[in-house]
Amino acid sequence: MESRAAIVATCWIAIAIISAVFIWVGGVNIWNNISVGLLVFTAFIVTFGVGFGLKEKKPEIELLREMSNIKMKLDELTKIVEEIKKAIEE
């Protein structure tokens, strides 16, 4: 949760700095206002995207790792069972 807040805060700080530079360098005119408006719109998209849409993939990755470990152990057990079957048949 802390990383999400950091992402949103960093985005808004960057947008504020870029917007201030746009207005300071270019003055107040329609093109700078449109540029700043698009930047703010992007910040809103990031804010709500991080808040609602993006989910952490950590548990999913850990689950895949555990499943691959289980599959390897199952393969080892299958080999052992095959060896026991061969030993019993002889």
Cβ contacts of 3-8, under 8 Å, gap ≥ 24: 4/50, 4/51, 4/54, 7/46, 7/50, 8/46, 8/47, 8/50, 8/51
Same domain as 43, residue 27: yes
Residues 5 and 48 occupy one common structural domain: yes
In this prediction, residue 81 carries a pLDDT of 92
Residues 62 and 46 in one domain: no
Number of domains in the chain: 2
Mean pLDDT for the chain overall = 83
pTM of the model: 0.50
The SS3 call for residue 55 is coil
- Which of the residues in the chain have pLDDT under 70? 1-2, 51, 53-58
Both 9 and 37 in a single domain?
yes
User: Given this model, what pLDDT does residue 71 score?
Assistant: 92
At residue 5, the pLDDT reads: 78
Residues 44 and 76 in one domain: no
Q: Are residues 12 and 48 in the same domain?
A: yes
Query: Domain range spanning residue 69?
Result: 56-90
